[in-house]
Amino acid sequence: MDDVNNIGVIDLFCGIGGLSQGFASEGFSILSGYDNDKSCKFAFEKNNDAVFHAVDITEVDGNDLNEEYGQKLKILVGCAPCQPFSSYSFKVKQKDEKKINLLYSFSRLVQETNPTIVSMENVPQLMDFNKSTVFMDFYEKLKELGYYVSYEIVFCPDYGIPQRRRRLVLLASKLGEISLIPKTHNQEDYVTVRDVIADLPPVSAGEFNEKDPLHRARQLSELNLKRIQNTKEGEGWKTWPKELLLECFKKPSGHSYGSVYGRMKWDEPSPTMTTQCTGLGNGRFGHPEQDRAITLREAARFQTFPDKYQFYEDSKTYNPSIICRQIGNAVPPKLGEVIAKSIKEHLKEYQLWQEKGLQKNN
C-alpha cells in the first residue's frame, strides 16, 4: 500500500464518519473529526481510528487543527449541516441563521490552516438558497486564497451509490486544477435496491433478526399495516381505497406528498436516505415486497456503510432513533471514496503520492 505518513485528513462536521470512512478506505490517514453531536463519538472513533472532538465548529481555532496536522500535507474536508438548505427548508420562512453561517466557519478555518486540499460536500440547493451568497462567498474566498476550485452536482448512482441522492461536491487545491474522477456507472448498470438488500433475511414490522440487531423494522399500527398491504411495489397512497387515505391526501395540496407511504422498486436505486428513513410515512421507504418500512441495516447499506461498521457500543447504548438519524445525516462512505480517489489521483499527478513516501509540502 502507498505510504501516506505525510498526509493528514481532518473532517469537519464529521458525524459518525461516513466521509472519513471513504478516505480511510483509500489509504488516507484520518487525524480527527469535529462535530457538536456527542452521540457520534463512538462510531467515528471506533471505525476510523481517529480522535473525535465534540465541539461547535464556530468555537474551533485554526491553531488547534495546525497542531494536529504537524508537518503533514493538510487535507481539510467537511459537510456543514444541510438542513437549512434542503428542499423542505425552502418552505420554512424562519431559517436557522447559526446553521447557515457554518459554511463561513469552514471558510475561516481554511484561512487559518492553509491546507493543500479542501473538499466540501452539501445539498445542491446550497447554490441557490434564496439567492443567498453563502456558497459563492465560500467559492470566492477559496479563489482569493490562491486555490484552483471545481464543483459539480453529483447524481450518486453514477458512482455506484444505490440511492437517488444528489450532492454538491467542491474540490480545491493549491497545486493546480482538480476535479472528480469520471463517472463509473450509467443507467444500465446502476446499483439497485435488489443488489443491496435482497440477500437479507425477511423480518416483519416490529421485529428484528436475532443475528443482526440493526436489521430491525419499526412497529406499524393496524391501519398502517393495512396501508402497506394495499401498496404495490413502486407505488404509494394514490392507489389505496378511500377508507385508508389520510385527510390531507384528500385535499388538492395532498398531491405534494406523493412519495410518502410508498414502496421502493426492486430494480432501481433507492430514494435518498433521510434522518427518518425507517418510518413508513416519511417517504418512499417501504420495502419492495415485505409489509414494513426498511430496517436500520437496509438504510445503512443504501448509504454504503459496510456491514462491519459499528454504530453503537453495546445494548445499553443501542438507540434505533439516534442510529437512524446518524445514518441519514451521514455522507455515504462510497461518495467519500470517490472524493478521496479524486484527490489521490491529483496528488499522484504532482508526485505527492508515491510508494516510497511523500514529499513534504507547505
Task: Supply 81's cell numbers.
Answer: 449541516
Lowest-confidence range among 49-53, 98-102, 132-136, 213-217?
A: 98-102
Which of these, 343, 185, 355, 218, lies nearest to 285 by C-alpha position?
218
361 within domain boundaries? no
d(CA 53, CA 22): 19
d(CA 338, CA 344): 10
226 and 162 in one domain? no
355 within domain boundaries? no
96 and 230 in one domain? no
The catalytic residues are: 82
**For the segment 30-87, what is each residue's pLDDT rounded down to a tens digit?**
999 999 999 999 999 999 999 999 999 999 999 999 999 999 999 999 998 855 544 4
Q: Is the pLDDT reported for residue 361 higher than 70?
A: no
Task: Supply 309's cell numbers.
Answer: 461498521
Q: What percent of the chain has pLDDT over 70?
A: 86
Lowest-confidence range among 156-160, 306-310, 350-354?
A: 350-354
182 by DSSP, 3-state: which? coil
The three-point CA angle 275-280-284 to 5° equals: 80
- The CA-atom distances, in angstroms, between 198 and each of 130, 131, 189, 201, 288 are 41, 43, 17, 8, 10
Strand order in the sheet with 166-173: 51-54, 30-35, 7-12, 73-78, 117-122, 166-173, 148-155
User: What's the number of domains the chain is made of?
Assistant: 2
d(CA 146, CA 114): 10
Alpha helices in the chain (DSSP H): 18-25, 41-48, 62-69, 97-100, 102-113, 134-144, 193-197, 222-229, 296-302, 320-329, 333-349
157 and 12 in one domain? yes
Mean pLDDT value of segment 317-330: 97
Q: Is the pLDDT reported for residue 93 higher than 50?
A: no
More confident: 224 or 252: 224
264 and 253 in one domain? yes
209 and 147 in one domain? no
Question: Between 134-144 and 102-113, two packed helices, what is the crossing angle to 10 degrees?
Answer: 10
Name the pLDDT band for 327 (thresholds 50, 70, 90). very high
- The CA-atom distances, in angstroms, between 276 and each of 73, 87, 283 are 38, 15, 9
120 and 46 in one domain? yes
63 within domain boundaries? yes
d(CA 172, CA 155): 20
29 and 134 in one domain? yes
Name the pLDDT band for 238 (thresholds 50, 70, 90). confident
336 and 323 in one domain? no
155 and 236 in one domain? no
Cβ neighbour number for residue 135 with a 10 Å cutoff:
20
Q: Is the pLDDT reported for residue 90 higher than 50?
A: no
Residue 360's pLDDT is what? Answer: 44
Beta 73-78 vs 117-122: how paired, if at all?
parallel
153 and 14 in one domain? yes
> Which residues are CB-neighbours of 2 under 8 A, at least 6 positions away?
27, 353, 354, 355
DSSP 293: B
Residue 119 phi/psi, 5° resolution?
A: -135, 135
Residue 277's pLDDT is what? Answer: 96
Gap between the terminal Cα atoms of the chain: 24
51 and 27 in one domain? yes
DSSP 70: T
The whole model's pTM is what? Answer: 0.91
Strand partners, 10: 32, 76
Which residue range forms the structural domain that includes residue 113? Answer: 7-188+331-349
Name the pLDDT band for 130 (thresholds 50, 70, 90). low
Residue 262's pLDDT is what? Answer: 92
151 and 131 in one domain? yes
More confident: 254 or 231: 231
d(CA 234, CA 263): 5
Q: Is the pLDDT reported for residue 174 higher than 60?
A: yes
359 within domain boundaries? no
Which CATH number characterizes residue 157's domain?
A: 3.40.50.150
Name the pLDDT band for 99 (thresholds 50, 70, 90). low
Under 8 Å between Cβ of 34 and 14: yes
Name the pLDDT band for 110 (thresholds 50, 70, 90). very high
